[in-house]
């Protein structure tokens, strides 16, 4: 019972609640909005709490990378004008039409506006099995299609931050959310100092791709938790690079890049990482009429 808790225990419980709400909604504004602006803490207080908890704050726009990618993938598949497809979007779709028009322009001109991070997570000693999950943070765009495309842990990053910070944000939001809330995991020790083995241009985002081998103690599926990705599981790299399932845009290309990492042991990928454009970018670059 809450009534039986000491003041210190009540404070700790409330702090955990705020941290969980932030990792669920992705911004301080959304936390207050979701709680009808009825929280006994200020905006500044939430930001201080996030710093105290060592939570890496969100980067990029409020809308997630996956939402725009889902729309652009549908645009490429449907081959219809952007505005016509946009009118069919559900109310929960947040990315503006103007933003999507800009992204198409950036794709055609090969302009990179943002940066992102994707993480290949494998269990120690088994590099062929890669951790994936179903991205449930993006609204369903097409009735009849499976909800929650299969994705790697990935998201926006900041140009000025180091790779450890970028990876930490992804792990806190999409792989070890419960551990981030409980402050029960030494993320810095787990991440180390990795270098990207690949860069992939998806829409107007250049995604740096890293590989981390999880120790056995952190490899069991029961350890993984997230508000954004569900049904964490391992898939063989051949299934990912084959791209036959409902994968999020860019995942197949990352899978192919990771296979090269495994198959080319003599290449120093840290000094000479792969540089690729996604199939989505290649397809949309050839169909500028879709913008009209």
pLDDT, tens digit, 9 for 90 and up, residues 164-211: 999 999 999 999 999 999 999 999 888 988 999 999 999 999 999 999
The 10s digit of each residue's pLDDT in 35-45 is 999 999 999 99
Are 150 and 131 within 8 A, CB to CB? no
pLDDT band at 144 (very low <50, low <70, confident <90, very high): very low
What superfamily does domain 112-278 belong to in CATH?
Nucleoside Triphosphate Pyrophosphohydrolase (3.90.79.10)
Task: Tell me the domain boundaries of the chain.
Answer: 2-52, 112-278
Radius of gyration in angstroms for the set of CA atoms belonging to the chain, rounded to a whole number: 20
d(CA 158, CA 168): 12
Which tokens is 198 given? 């690949």
Q: What is the pTM of this model?
A: 0.90
């Amino acid at each position: 019972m809450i009534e039986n808790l000491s003041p210190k225990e009540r404070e700790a419980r409330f702090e955990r609640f705020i941290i969980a709400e932030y990792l669920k909604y992705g911004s301080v504004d959304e936390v207050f909005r979701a709680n009808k602006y009825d929280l006994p803490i200020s905006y500044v207080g939430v930001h201080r709490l996030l710093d105290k908890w060592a939570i890496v704050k969100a980067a990029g726009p409020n809308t997630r990378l996956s939402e725009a990618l889902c729309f652009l993938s549908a645009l490429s598949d449907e081959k219809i004008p952007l505005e016509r497809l946009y009118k069919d979007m559900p109310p929960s779709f947040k990315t503006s039409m103007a933003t999507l028009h800009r992204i198409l322009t950036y794709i055609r001109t090969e302009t990179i506006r943002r940066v992102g991070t994707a993480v290949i997570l494998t269990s120690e000693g088994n590099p062929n099995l890669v951790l994936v999950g179903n991205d449930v943070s993006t609204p369903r765009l097409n009735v009849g299609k499976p909800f929650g495309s299969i994705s790697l842990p990935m998201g926006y990053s900041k140009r000025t931050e180091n790779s450890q910070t970028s990876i930490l944000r992804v792990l806190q939001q999409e792989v070890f959310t419960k551990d981030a809330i409980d402050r029960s995991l030494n993320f810095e020790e787990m991440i180390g100092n990795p270098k990207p083995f690949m860069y992939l241009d998806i829409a107007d985002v250049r995604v740096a791709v890293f590989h981390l081998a999880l120790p056995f103690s952190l490899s069991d599926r029961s350890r993984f938790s997230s508000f954004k990705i569900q049904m964490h599981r391992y898939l063989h790299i051949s299934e990912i690079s084959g791209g036959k399932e409902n994968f999020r845009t860019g995942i197949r290309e990352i899978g192919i890049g990771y296979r090269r990492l495994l198959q080319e042991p003599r290449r120093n990928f840290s000094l000479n990482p792969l540089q690729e454009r996604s199939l989505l970018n290649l397809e949309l670059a050839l169909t500028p009429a879709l913008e009209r």
